[in-house]
Amino acid sequence: MSGGSWDRGLDYEGTKRLLLERVRGLRGVRGVRARRALAYTCVLLFQLRNGSRVSEAVDALKAWVSTRKREVEVPVRKHRSFEVRKMVVPEELKEEDRLDCASVLECVKPANVEVYAGRAFGWNTHSLRYARITHLAKQGVSPSLIAKITHHKRLDHVLRYTEQKAADEINREIG
């Protein structure tokens, strides 16, 4: 068991490098298709950086485009009560990226980003959320802080996931 069918076991650093390469390759490319791909890739970077749900990452991109702030607040999804979370704009994203994203903002919807992630990279977007969780756990961040960072309502889900990942790794290493 590795987590779920959505968990592709993505390496945080490798995934970040891949997404940043894609952003660099799309910068300055003319055409709506390239700007859409850039915007979707930026959403995936937001999601990876913050361990968020794709809908929260879409909201964060839109907030960044409209406010220019490097830290934005967005509504938390899947919670009964209204709650907001802070999301950090990935430091590698530039003003030119923000402007290109602004030009195609009406196309940036969670479903479109999910399809793009599947076609361009073979990922389910939720895998990015768990890549961040795994990365934080490997950095020694406590599960309760990981739950706060990612806005997991139930700590036991984070505990079960991080413990299973650690157990799988130990089992692989011990011959």
Domain limits of the chain? 12-173
pLDDT in tens, 9-55: 799 999 999 999 999 999 989 999 999 999 999 999 999 999 999 99
Q: What is the structure's pLDDT at 143?
A: 79
For residue 126, indicate whether it is catalytic: yes
**pLDDT tier at 152, thresholds 50, 70, 90:** low
- Torsion, Cα 59 61 67 73, to 10 degrees, reads 50
Calculate the alpha carbon distances from 29 to 48, 103, 121 in Å.
24, 13, 20
For residue 16, indicate whether it is catalytic: no
pLDDT in tens, 68-89: 999 999 998 876 678 899 999 9
CATH code reported for the domain at 12-173: 1.10.443
**Type and span of the H or E element at 86:** strand 84-88
Instruction: Give the residue-averaged pLDDT of 106-115.
Output: 98
For residue 129, indicate whether it is catalytic: yes
For residue 36, indicate whether it is catalytic: no
Task: Look at the block and give the residue holding tokens 């390759």.
Answer: 25
For residue 78, indicate whether it is catalytic: yes
Instruction: State the catalytic residue, choosing from 22, 62, 152, 165.
Output: 152
**pLDDT tier at 132, thresholds 50, 70, 90:** very high
Instruction: State the catalytic residue, choosing from 85, 129, 132, 165.
Output: 129
What does the angle CA 175 – CA 128 – CA 173 come to, to the nearest 5 degrees? 5
For residue 80, indicate whether it is catalytic: no
